[in-house]
Amino acid sequence: MSGQTTNEQEFARARGAMPGGVNSPVRAFGSVQETPRFFVSASGPYVTDVEGREYVDLVGSWGPAILGHAHPAVVKAVQDAAAHGLGFGASTPGETELAELIAARVRRPNAIAGPVERVRLVSTGTEATMTAIRLARGATGRDLIVKFAGHYHGHSDGLLAEAGSGVATLAMPGSAGVPAPIAAQTLVIAYNDLDAVREVFAARGGDIAAIIVEAAPANMGIVPPSRGFNAAIADIAHAHGALLILDEVLTGFRVGPAGWYGIDPVPFRPDLITFGKVVGGGLPLAALGGPAALMELLAPLGPVYQAGTLSGNPLAVAAGRATLDHLDDAAYARIDAAAATIADAAASALSEAGVTHVVQRSGSLFSIQFAATPPVDYDTVKAQEAFRYPPFFRSMLQQGVSLPPSVFEAWFVSASHDDDAVARILEALPAAARAAAEASPG
């Protein structure tokens, strides 16, 4: 493969075939002013581009590759499943097993039961949150949704207002094409601000179906919830007859065996939880779960419709099951240790270069923010010196480390990031930090 084409050539050709040359906006590398790399293979912590260049990867397919790329057990599970048929459009035993696995894992340490009694498998995180919202509306008979600025819940119409991730990267307030009456059903408030939550419920409480929240936000960079925040918003929602939708599409099964729900220092009760990324092991699969009484309002038992040609696809189910099976305590310990080493080294390199920064962490998830004090919400995130990230990113890339191409994204460490891979990242950090130091706003 090496030497056949260049990334430049691939990008030029792709732009003639797909809008912006990509199938998801952040992949265009626009905000880091760099040519996107076109990858041809990946293994463990490494990805290889069309030019034959290998990078240590900290994108991890945006989360799913938690065991490392092409983990042999996951690949084998998918191959075995494929040999039995790519999909039936009918039920399979594997779907039940994955649903049971999800329900069994999502519980607080020592709890007899968790908040997930029934699971619906879908294909993307966007579908999971969209369905959770429809279900909340169907259950409460109310229309309004409360979301937090800077939180990303996928690209369904009602959830794009002041969203994080690519919407933040592209500095878009929302999206064209969302009808105003639909946008008006979403009330956007500041994160980590309980007064804002109380105020919105005082004003509109009787009309609010649900609050949707990233369990530990990671789409405006990492912004941890203040202690007890999730518990407090659960209480406020419940006091007004509204539901709490905990979006664990990114954090679920990543920050621990039961996601953020399992490690939040203050226990709380979400009504619906959405999962994605890790739960599909790299293939298109996501899920939502909750108590039977709520979940059984979904068709065919209840009046809330949801369906999918590829829902519960056997290859995706096999990848998800194999991934969860291999995510044991040892795997989480490796991820935690590698993440801590990389985060500490990034902080040291930036300090050494005299760059004002904080490294924000939520469990093993972390990101750099170029600010003097830890950002707590979208406004403080946006106030950072974001112009320092593109040169930092480009320096890392030139040195063979693939970071997320946006300051608003988390760095994804996998269980395959061994000492060699971590050492390569650590070696690259000082020069990248110096590049960040030399950056200017213009």
Annotated catalytic residue, options 264, 277, 332, 377: 277
Q: Smallest distance from the beta carbon of 124 to ligand PLP, in angstroms?
A: 4
Q: Based on the residue annotation, tell me whether 191 is a catalytic residue of this protein.
A: no
For residue 154, state whether it binds ligand PLP (rule: CB under 6 A): yes
Q: Which stretch binds ligand PLP (CB under 6 A): 88-96, 124-132, 140-148, 174-182?
A: 124-132
Given the residues 46, 55, 152, 389, the one annotated as active site: 152
Active-site residue, selected from the candidate residues 46, 49, 147, 247: 247
CB of 126 to ligand PLP, least distance (A): 3
**Could you tell me the sign of the dihedral formed by the alpha carbons of 170, 176, 178, 183, in that order?**
positive
Which residues, listed in sequence order, are joined to residue 189 by a DSSP beta bridge?
Answer: 148
Instruction: Tell me how far, at minimum, the Cβ of 59 lies from ligand PLP, in Å.
Output: 12
Question: Which residue, 22 or 437, has its beta carbon nearer to ligand PLP?
Answer: 22
**Which CB atom, from 53 or from 361, has the smaller least distance to ligand PLP?**
361
- The verdict on whether omega for the bond into residue 115 sits within 30 degrees of 0, i.e. cis, is no
- Interface pick for ligand PLP out of 124, 230, 380, 402 (rule CB under 6 A): 124
Question: Binder to ligand PLP among 249, 272, 319, 403 (CB under 6 A)?
Answer: 249
Is residue 147 part of the annotated active site? The answer reads no
Among 31, 92, 165, 384, interactor with ligand PLP by CB under 6 A: 165
The distance of Cα 114 from the centroid of its chain, to the nearest Å, equals 22
User: Does 7 help bind ligand PLP (rule: CB under 6 A)?
Assistant: no
Handedness of CA 122, 125, 128, 131 (dihedral sign): negative
- Which of 42, 41, 35, 31 is closest to 15 using CA atoms? 35
Give one word for 202, left, alpha or beta, with left for phi > 0 and alpha for psi -120 to 50. alpha
Q: Report if residue 25 touches ligand PLP, rule: CB under 6 A.
A: no
Q: Hunting for tokens 């050539």 — which residue is that?
A: 9
**Segment near ligand PLP (CB under 6 A), from 31-39, 46-54, 94-102, 149-157?**
149-157
Nearer to ligand PLP, 26 or 234 (CB): 26
Q: How far apart are CA 213 and CA 246, in angstroms?
A: 5
Distance CA 152, CA 98 (A): 25
Q: Is 219 in the site for ligand PLP (CB under 6 A)?
A: yes
- Residues in contact with ligand PLP, total (CB under 6 A)? 16
Task: Select the residue whose beta carbon is closest to ligand PLP and give its number.
Answer: 125
Cα end-to-end span (Å), the chain: 39
- Give the span between the Cα atoms of 380 and 166, in whole angstroms: 18
List 100's β-bridge partners, or say none. Answer: none
Q: Beta strand pairing status for 358-362 and 144-148?
A: unpaired
Distance CA 122, CA 133 (A): 14
Residue keyed to tokens 């065991």: 67
- Choose between 28 and 433: whose C-beta lies nearer to ligand PLP: 28
Nearer to ligand PLP, 286 or 422 (CB): 286
Task: Please count the CA atoms within 13 angstroms of the CA of 337 that sit on its side-chain side.
Answer: 11
Interface with ligand PLP in residues 376-435 (CB under 6 A): none
Tell me if 215 sits within 8 A of 261, measured CB to CB.
Answer: yes
- Binding of ligand PLP at residue 129 (CB under 6 A)? yes
| Interface residues toward ligand PLP, by CB under 6 A | 62, 124-126, 129, 152-154, 165, 214, 219, 247, 249-250, 276, 286
Active site residues: 152, 247, 277
